[in-house]
Structure formats: C-alpha cells, structure tokens
Chain A
Amino acid sequence: MAMLGGVLALTGCAGGAPSALDPAGTGAGRVADLWWVLFWISMAVFAEVMVLLVWALVFRRRRDARVRHGQPLRFVAIAGAGIPLVILVTVYALGLRDLVALGDGPGPEATTIEVTGHRWWWEVRVPGVAGATANELHIPVGEKVRIRLRTADVLHSFWVPQLMPKTDLIAGEVRETWLQTDRAGTYRGQCAEYCGTQHAHMAFLVVAEPRREFDAWLSQLGSPAARPQTDAQRRGQEAFEQGSCAGCHTIRGTGADGRIGPDLSDVGSRWSIGAGAVSNDGGHLGGWIANSQTVKPGNFMPPQPVDAQRLPDLIAYLQSLT
C-alpha cells in the first residue's frame, strides 16, 4: 500500500500530466494535502476490512470449524459505526477548513480576468482592457487573481488541476474563482463539464509569469495586432479582411471585427489551434482554415473556401500575429 502511494506520487509528477497530485497553486496544494490524508485513512480502513475477511477465509473454511451463533452487536456497532464516526468527524472538520480556504477569494483590488466559455473555446478578457484572446490566460506569480466566469451558451467548467479545483460556468449567472501560484510556468486547464460534441477539445493554458511580463501581456492585449511585414503577410491580411473570416473573427486594428469566433490578434503565439485540438504550426493552421471539421469535427467554424494560392499568404499572416 505504501508502494501504491509511491506509485501515485511518482506518476503524478512524471509524464507531464496536469496532475492534481503535482500541485503548483495554493488551492490545489491544499486539496492535494487533504487527498493524502484521505488516502492513508482509506487505506487503513480498507486494510482493516481485508484483515477480517482474510482471517475468515483462512480460519473459517475448515470442515471442523464450528459455527458460532453469537450476535456480536457491540462489535458491529463499534467497527461499523463508532470508529467510522470518529474518523468521519475528523475528516469532515479538515474538509470544512479547506472548503472555507478555497472560498477565501482575493480582495476587491486584485487583478481580475474574465473568462467566457463558448462551445468549444474560451474567451479571455481583462476589465478595462480593450482586446481579447482565446484559450490562454496569463497570471502574475504570487498574486491571488480573480477569475470571473460566464458562459455564452451551455454549462462548462473551469479546471486547472495543478492550480485550482473546478468552478462551473452557469448559464444566466456569474461565478468567480481565483488562481494563485508561486511557481512560474504553464499549466494545462480543461473544460470539465460536458458541453457537447467537442467537449474533449476545450482545453486552455494558464501561464504564470512575473508581474512585469504579465503587465506586458496586458498591454499587448490592449493594443492593435502586429502589422504585416512581408508582401505575403499583406496579401494574407487582405484575404482575411475580404474573405468570410472577418465576419466571425476580430483582429485588432484591422477591419476584421467579428465576434462569433475567437479574437485572432495574437493567434500566432498560441500554444494550440482549436483549444487544444492540434499544435499551432503552419501545416495545422492551413488544415484548420481549409477544413477545421476534419481537425475538430463538429466545431462551429465552417470549412472555408480559400483559394489554394491565397492559403499560404493567410497562414503567413496569421503566424505573424504574435
């Protein structure tokens, strides 16, 4: 059993999984501690049951074992109710302590990030900042950051296993949670409430960085997108603005101001395309634009009839938007 614990602890950290057992945030850290307490208690209870069971199997199978007709009510009451009650009261108190701690959000002056769930991507905004981005949010290291959660359609759930347990996005209501970490790094998050066809590909990334880099991110979020530098990129921008793209996507500082799909002003620097569906490189981008339905079947971006010659330009342009 100790071995099992070891396996858990090890595999938890290895393999790059966004593991709740490899916490980096205040919230997830508390829960991980709570988990280990629960784990060892459970192992003890389980061991108790197994010992009794094995004892019976070893000693009560012999043919000469005499059936005893007692009614050991006291044993049943103590083992089945008394001891569990003591354990349960204890863990309940621990659990309550952590519940209160998780509910202890940041004060009014804290940085706030607004996250809106869409089928099947995340819109990220910061109050007072004009721009938006998608599927990636930054937080300053060491601060408690408020995350305000809304949904544009159905229920979703905001979950960054290494930083913070889940909070659902409830249609018609606003929910809040918070993130805090002392460890700079990137943390994978994912939608954890079934939201239809592409619930599987509704991941996001939390980037924790020093305050200065965070401020740079904020100012980038508020400013126009990078201007095209090469001819190809310029042709790409033209294609974007004149094509159907602009009807659904915004690129800040250009004529494209659609609100149906994600803001693409910084799409070149994103960690993925399609909220974790594929990695962000030229090939995947081209595939996505031509027919995102093969990449992320069922998503709400229809296949785009882009000219084969214009496609490289478009890719070049989008990749330049960092």
Chain B
Amino acid sequence: MSTTAAPAPGASRGDLARLERHWGETPSVRSWLTTVDHKRIGRRYLVTAGLFFALAGLSALAMRTQLARPEAGMLSPEEYNQLFTMHGTTMIFLFATPMLFGFGNVLVPLMIGSRDMAFPKLNALGYWVFLFSGLFMWASLPFGAAPNNGWFAYVPLSDEQHNPGLHMDVYSLGLLFLGVATTAGSINFIVTALKLRAPGMSLNRVPLFVWAIVATGFMVIFALPALNVDNAMLFLDRRFGTHFFDPEAGGNVLLWQHLFWIFGHPDVYIIVMPALGIVSAVLPAFTRRGVVGYPLVVLAIVSISIISFGVWVHHMFATGLPQLSYSFFSAASTIITIPSGIQIFAWLATMMLGRLVLRVPLLFVIGFIVTFVLGGLTGAMFALTAFDQQVTDSYFVVAHFHYVLIGGAVFPMLAGIYFWLPKITGRMYHEGLGRWAFWLVFVGMHVTFFPMHLYGLFGMPRRVYTYRSEAGWDGWNLVSTVGSYVLALGLLLVLVGVVHAIRRGRPAPPDPWGGDTLDWSTDSPPKPYNFPVLPRVRSLHPNWDGPSRESMATGAEPDRVLADGRRTLRTSELDGRRERAVEMPEPSFQPLVLALAMLTFFTALLLAWYPVAAGAAATVAVTLAVWLWPPRRPDTEVGVSA
C-alpha cells in the first residue's frame, strides 16, 4: 500500500527496517482476519458503516417512493413499518456512530502521534462485534422478522402480547450485542487520548477532533447503560415473563421512555460531536489558520456532553408529566443550544479571518453550517413544551432531525471523506466530480427535507405508511420524494468519486492541504507504525510549527524511535510528559473468535437454544481468559521475593 516514502531523517535505515519487521503485515487472509492495526480497522469501520448507510438509505428511498402519492400500494403496512424502523435504527446505530468511530480509529492515533490505539485487540474485537451485530439485525429482514416498532421501540407496543414474533427480540438483542462494540470503542478512545499522546502534547495542544472523540467516549460510557438496561428488561419481559413494563402487574410503560431517552438524547450528541470535531479539523487547512477560540470550543464540547444528560424529557413532552418537570427540561433544552452557538460563531470567525480555499471539503463544511443551523433552530423551538406538543410526532420533527443528522453529521462526514481520502488511500479525488456530488447532495437534501417542515405543520403525523389526499399533503410529499432521488444521485457520485480516486487518482503527497495536525506529517497512506519517529509536540498546530516538525528529523532521541519491538510511548494524562514505552500486542485471532462466540450466544438466545447460548457464554469466558493470560517471565524480571 505504501506509495510515497517521506524522508524520515530522524530514523536510520536500520531502524526503519526493524520497525517494518515488527509492524509490517503482508497481505494474506490470515493477516486480514487477525490484524490489530488501527488504520485497517478504521478503514473497515468506514466501509462497513457505508454499506449500512446504503442499506438504510435504500430503505428510505423505498419509503419515499411509497409516500410520493396518496394511498399508494407499493409497500404493505407491515413492510413499511419494518423499513422505517430498520432505516432509523440502522442510520443511528449502524451508520452514524460507527462511521464516526471509523474516523476516530484512523485519526486519533495519527493526530496524537501514537503508533496505535491503547488496546488494539479490543479495537479489532469492536469492529467484528459491530459487523456481526449489524448482520444479525439485517438478517431478520428477508424473513420478514425485522424490528417493526420504530427506532425507540415504545412499550407496550413492543411487548410480546402486542408484537409477537421475533421482531423486537432482534431489536433488543441486536442493540445489546452492538453495545459491546460501542462501549469497547469508547473506552479505547478515552484511554488512547489520555495515555498515548506524543510527548509534549499537553491537554491544551490536543486537536479539537480528539477532544470531541473523547467527550463522545465519555457520553457513551454514561449513556449506553441506560439503553442496555432498557433492552435487557424488554427482552426479559418478552421472553421470560417479567413485568417491568406491564402496568397490570406493577410495571410502568413510561419507564421505558425515560431510560430510552436518558440514552437517546446524549446519543444524538454522540453522533454530532465527532462530526463537529471533523469540522474543526477541516477548517484550519482551508482557512489557513487555527480555529478561533480553542478554549471556548473545548469548553463548548465539554459542556454539551454534560448538559446533554439533563434534557431527555423533551422527547416526552406530550406524555402528560407534571408541568414543573416540563419547565425544568424545557429550560435545560434551551440552554444546550448555547454551546452549539459558540462553536458555530467560532467557525464563522475562523472563516472571516482566514483565507478560504474553496475545495470540496470546505464546500461540505459550508453546507453543514447552513443546514445544521436551520436544524438547530427548529430544535430550539421544540425546547418550548407548548410548541413541541403541537409538532411532536409530526413530520416537523422528521425535518428537524434530518437537518441536524444529515446537516450536522453526514455533511461533516462527507467533508471528512474528501479531506482524508488522500491520507487513507494515498490517492487524490477528482475535484469536479466532488463538486457535482456536493451540489446534488446539498440541493437534494433541502428539497427532500425542507417541505417536511410544512406538511408537519399542516398536520401530517410521522410513521404513516400512507395518507389520504383530502388532507392536502400530496404535493409537498411528491417534492420530498423527488428530492430524495436527487440526494441519492449525489451520494452515488460520492461513491463514484471514492472508487475513482482509489482506481485512477493521482498519488497523494503526505500533506496535500497544508493541514495543521500530526496526521499530515506522516506518509499517505501512513506506514503500519505511523511515525518512524514519534514527534515531540510544541504547539497546538504541530504540523505548522518548525520545532515540532524538526523533532521527527535528525537528532531525535532513540526513545522516540523505539525500533526494537512493537512499541509506542506512554505519556502523562494532563501534560503529556513521557512515562515509558509500552509493548503493543501482535495480530491475533482472539478478537475474531471472541466476536464469533458472542454472535453464537446472541443468535442462540434469539432462537431460544439456551444450551447453545450457555456453551457460547463459556467460550467467551475461556477466550477472554486466554486473551488476558499473563505471559510467563523469569522471576527476576517480574520481581518476586517470596
């Protein structure tokens, strides 16, 4: 894969050969199945999440086709209901988060000047679990047993009595399974960013993207358990007759909603936060200066991640809770817009002070600002309970969340794809093709979703598989459908652009944009060990400052080369002082085996083969025990006295 060999004056030829021996992987099935390289894993995350995006996007096209005309008969209600559920669930859980985790995986070690993630094997496990849980959920669709209860699966409609069959078992088990990957990935990001930063990268020199990923990681750690508990209780209610959500027997249906949204609201920031991080990473290269107000932006990131845990009830404004509680959650939801405002104006200021280089990534960032602000503004409207009660569960809400999800997450991802394509593949993309893609996506997006504000206000509820023409919604629905095809065409062009770049693109130099972070100081694509010499960071924009760059050139201390082994540097949490070199794990089959055992476990649970499930659980335990078994060393080395 390596195309250009950047001069690595800091490391001798011998060092490079040794690094290659310890880190290099020859292409083979075995290495494909066992790799722990964060770049390969990250790439897989990106491609797999892209595939799920295509699946969920095609489901959306089917839905839009059905809704183009009133009383259309293309889809039966059962089909439509499975499609919109799979669309929402996949977009949120199998596309948005994993896609951003893919970016994080590729970029975090590169941006902080490390050779891999803190737990590379765990990282590999995370990918396999993500892949398998996604397949687990989608495999149900051909059997007509896909989840069919909306992405938030409200009880009692999702319980056994009202929704028999496997549909919601697939949902609850699939999300529990996926949760393993998301949790593992988050812990990995946090620890990597805390412990593996290049020496000299104190907290105030950490790139904004890394801040965003770490904040995301923390949100996952404290939000996901609520979803897991919820789904575990749902599965127990459905399968084993417990009564958590059964009002007849002391349960409560609103418990589901509280737990779901205690997860669900932070989750929307889990999605948007890293995407905003991408924006902060793209802007400096195309404005020729750092993002304005670094400390303010960091503060905004941190405060969003905290406040996001205090607003969940705004998804329950129509359930008839006490007004006092509504007024509190309404206030919190209003306040949470402020950190977003700070970020938006920091980016605007950056653009107003820098010099704009209008390449495709910047186009998508501009598209992001336009779209996300509109979506954010409708969000701020919902924060007012009285208004929300009128538009909740109508297409107005559908408009809001596609504006923030597509504007706030997909546009930055597309910016990121064009931006880092040279780094990841070593090839440049075709600018003209990229511009066409941008305009189609941008126009298609607004033509699709803007009218939803209108017919939402005109009274069209969401999640209806059809509507009657008397209601007067037909014209705008047709507009939406046309828009969605334009949007799909634009996305197809993105795909064409990516394939074209990989096949035909010009070889990319290490730093095609003049980026400011360390990822641009490595080869395109980077060597398996990322940095021949681990940098010593001296500023927030290491690739722009001489001393940081020179630290990788002649005169580098041998302890930043670390060529005699598979090793990288561990530094202190706050100010990035070097602590010691750490040993990194070799490629291994264990992650794959463990993920397969888990897949067996969840499949067996789903199909009620409980003995098989027990066997699979035992396999999981044994694999973990072997994985973590301490290597045997001479007593003198481990240090025993008695």
Of A41-49, A135-143, A221-229, A251-259, which binds chain B? A41-49
> Assuming A100-B323, A194-B463, A199-B464, is B381 touching A38 (CB within 8 A)?
yes
Interface contact B358-A67, CB-CB below 8 Å? no
Docked Cα-Cα span, A30 to B389, in Å, equals 12
Chain B CB count within 10 A is highest, among A77, A165, A167, for: A165
Interface contact B458-A94, CB-CB below 8 Å? no
Residues of B within 8 A of A63 (CB): 355
Interface contact B77-A297, CB-CB below 8 Å? yes
Q: How far in angstroms is the closest Cβ of chain B from A308?
A: 26
Interface contact B459-A95, CB-CB below 8 Å? no
Residues of B within 8 A of A188 (CB): 459, 471
Residues of A within 8 A of B320 (CB): 167-168, 170, 173, 175-176
Residues of B within 8 A of A276 (CB): 468
- In-complex Cβ contact of A84 among B341, B351, B391 (8 A): B341
How many residue pairs link A and B with beta carbons under 8 A? The number is 276
Interface contact B472-A194, CB-CB below 8 Å? no
Q: How far in angstroms is the closest Cβ of chain B from A46?
A: 6
Residues of A within 8 A of B467 (CB): 200
Interface contact A11-B454, CB-CB below 8 Å? yes
Interface contact B355-A198, CB-CB below 8 Å? no
Docked Cα-Cα span, A178 to B169, in Å, equals 38
Asked if A98 lies at the interface with its beta carbon under 8 angstroms from chain B, I say: yes
- In-complex Cβ contact of A30 among B76, B150, B344, B386 (8 A): B386
Q: How far in angstroms is the closest Cβ of chain B from A141?
A: 21
Interface contact B389-A95, CB-CB below 8 Å? no
Interface contact B353-A195, CB-CB below 8 Å? no
Residues of A within 8 A of B471 (CB): 16-18, 188
Chain B CB count within 10 A is highest, among A65, A80, A84, for: A80
Interface contact A84-B337, CB-CB below 8 Å? yes
Interface contact A73-B345, CB-CB below 8 Å? no
Asked if A212 lies at the interface with its beta carbon under 8 angstroms from chain B, I say: no
Interface contact B353-A69, CB-CB below 8 Å? yes
Residues of A within 8 A of B492 (CB): none
Q: How far in angstroms is the closest Cβ of chain B from A48?
A: 9
Residues of B within 8 A of A85 (CB): 338
Interface contact B344-A166, CB-CB below 8 Å? no
- In-complex Cβ contact of A192 among B351, B354, B369, B394 (8 A): B394
Asked if A3 lies at the interface with its beta carbon under 8 angstroms from chain B, I say: no
Interface contact B77-A21, CB-CB below 8 Å? no
Docked Cα-Cα span, A55 to B381, in Å, equals 27
Residues of A within 8 A of B354 (CB): 60, 67-68
Contact with A along B374-390 (1 / 0, CB 8 A): 10011011011111011
Docked Cα-Cα span, A153 to B461, in Å, equals 20
Interface contact A12-B318, CB-CB below 8 Å? no
Interface contact A81-B289, CB-CB below 8 Å? no
Residues of B291-327 contacting chain A, CB below 8 A: 292-293, 296, 318-320, 323, 326-327
- In-complex Cβ contact of A53 among B81, B154, B162, B369 (8 A): B369
Interface contact B157-A20, CB-CB below 8 Å? no
Interface contact B157-A196, CB-CB below 8 Å? yes
Docked Cα-Cα span, A199 to B76, in Å, equals 13
Asked if B15 lies at the interface with its beta carbon under 8 angstroms from chain A, I say: no
Docked Cα-Cα span, A6 to B376, in Å, equals 22
Interface contact A45-B459, CB-CB below 8 Å? no
Q: How far in angstroms is the closest Cβ of chain A from B357?
A: 8
Contact-residue size bin, chain A (C-beta under 8 Å from the other chain): 35 or more
Asked if A184 lies at the interface with its beta carbon under 8 angstroms from chain B, I say: no
Interface contact B76-A154, CB-CB below 8 Å? no
Contact with B along A33-68 (1 / 0, CB 8 A): 011001000100110011011011100111101111
Docked Cα-Cα span, A65 to B348, in Å, equals 16
Main secondary structure of the interface of B (DSSP, over half): helix
Residues of A within 8 A of B380 (CB): 38, 42, 88, 91
Asked if B470 lies at the interface with its beta carbon under 8 angstroms from chain A, I say: yes
Interface contact A95-B349, CB-CB below 8 Å? no
Residues of B215-254 contacting chain A, CB below 8 A: 247-248, 252-254
Interface contact A18-B458, CB-CB below 8 Å? yes
Residues of B within 8 A of A53 (CB): 348, 351, 366, 369-370
Q: How far in angstroms is the closest Cβ of chain A from B394?
A: 7
Interface contact B76-A297, CB-CB below 8 Å? yes
Residues of A167-183 contacting chain B, CB below 8 A: 167-168, 170-173, 175-176
Interface contact A192-B392, CB-CB below 8 Å? yes
Q: How far in angstroms is the closest Cβ of chain B from A271?
A: 10
Interface contact B468-A17, CB-CB below 8 Å? no
Asked if B288 lies at the interface with its beta carbon under 8 angstroms from chain A, I say: yes
Residues of A within 8 A of B77 (CB): 197-198, 200, 297-298
Asked if A130 lies at the interface with its beta carbon under 8 angstroms from chain B, I say: no
Asked if A2 lies at the interface with its beta carbon under 8 angstroms from chain B, I say: no
Docked Cα-Cα span, A84 to B343, in Å, equals 13
Asked if A15 lies at the interface with its beta carbon under 8 angstroms from chain B, I say: yes
Q: How far in angstroms is the closest Cβ of chain B from A225?
A: 28
Residues of B within 8 A of A191 (CB): 461
Q: Which residue of A lies closest to B350 (CB)?
A: A56
- In-complex Cβ contact of A165 among B76, B149, B318, B470 (8 A): B318
> Assuming A155-B253, A171-B156, A194-B150, is B384 touching A61 (CB within 8 A)?
no
Interface contact B348-A49, CB-CB below 8 Å? yes
- In-complex Cβ contact of A49 among B292, B346, B373 (8 A): B373
Asked if B78 lies at the interface with its beta carbon under 8 angstroms from chain A, I say: yes
Residues of A within 8 A of B319 (CB): 168, 170
Docked Cα-Cα span, A232 to B296, in Å, equals 80
Contact with A along B404-446 (1 / 0, CB 8 A): 0000000000000000000000000000000000000000000
Residues of A268-318 contacting chain B, CB below 8 A: 276, 297-298
Interface contact B472-A99, CB-CB below 8 Å? no
Q: Which residue of A lies closest to B153 (CB)?
A: A194
Docked Cα-Cα span, A101 to B293, in Å, equals 42
- In-complex Cβ contact of B296 among A18, A65, A73 (8 A): A73
Q: Which residue of B lies closest to A38 (CB)?
A: B381
Interface contact A161-B338, CB-CB below 8 Å? no
Interface contact A52-B389, CB-CB below 8 Å? no
Q: List 20 A-B contacts (CB under 8 A).
A: A17-B473, A21-B457, A31-B387, A38-B387, A50-B370, A53-B369, A56-B351, A60-B354, A65-B355, A72-B349, A88-B334, A88-B380, A95-B330, A103-B323, A154-B156, A168-B320, A170-B253, A192-B461, A194-B157, A200-B77
Please give the residue numbers on chain A whose beta carbons come within 8 Å of chain B beta carbons, in ascending order: 8, 11-12, 14-21, 28, 30-31, 34-35, 38, 42, 45-46, 49-50, 52-53, 55-57, 60-63, 65-73, 75-77, 79-81, 84-85, 88, 91-92, 94-96, 98-103, 119, 153-155, 157, 159, 161-162, 165-168, 170-173, 175-176, 188, 190-200, 276, 297-298
Top 8 nearest A-B pairs (CB, nearest first) are A172-B247, A95-B384, A15-B472, A165-B389, A17-B472, A200-B464, A80-B345, A98-B386
User: Besides the contacts A161-B458, A194-B462, what 13 more A-B pairs have beta carbons closer than 8 Å?
Assistant: A19-B457, A21-B458, A31-B389, A56-B352, A57-B351, A71-B293, A91-B384, A95-B386, A155-B157, A157-B393, A166-B318, A167-B318, A194-B149
